Amino acid sequence: MAGLVDFLSLLTAIVVFGGAIYGVIYVVNLINQGVATTKETLKTKGLDISKSGVSVKTSRRLDRDDYVDATQRGVMRAMGAASFRKADGSANASAVPPEMDRATSSSSIKSTGSDGKKKKGLFGSRK
């Protein structure tokens, strides 16, 4: 037969599990409320978020000339930022870069093993 300690243990277990379940439900509700308020503030700024995607509300309509102008500006900026040719034609596209003078340093001569000694491999001598 169950004693008083068994009933108190059962009551404690029910309270602990019930509290954990209530805590999870409370956190989920807080997250959902935060998402809802964020959607509302974004909607007032002109962004409408739904399951199908995001729609942006603009204050003016753009015609074809506006799109062409913006595209041309972007292309000109990209050409101006490119290193192979400037937009004003100041750099020659067929110009070869100057050849670099190369010299070996004393540390690289020592590291190549040119002094005749065999270098050991990671796990012993090389064959």
The larger pLDDT score, comparing residue 41 to residue 46, is at 41
Which pLDDT score, from 0 to 100, does residue 49 have?
84
Query: What mean pLDDT comes out for the span 34-52?
Result: 89
Residue type for 6, please? D
Which pLDDT score, from 0 to 100, does residue 19 have?
97
Which pLDDT score, from 0 to 100, does residue 23 have?
97
Q: Please check the confidence at residue 44 and state whether its pLDDT lies above 80.
A: yes
φ and ψ at 99, to 5 degrees?
Answer: -75, 140
CB 30 within 8 A of CB 37: no
Is 89 exposed, middle or buried, given 0-12, 13-18 or 19+ CB atoms closer than 10 A? Answer: exposed
CA–CA distance, 120 with 104 (Å, rounded to integer): 23
Average model confidence (pLDDT) across the chain:
79
> Which pLDDT tens digit goes with each residue over 91-127?
555 556 667 777 766 665 555 555 555 666 677 665 5
Sequence-separated (6 or more) residues with CB below 8 Å from residue 104: none
Which pLDDT score, from 0 to 100, does residue 12 have?
97
Q: With a threshold of 0.95, does the pTM exceed it?
A: no
Q: Please check the confidence at residue 88 and state whether its pLDDT lies above 80.
A: no
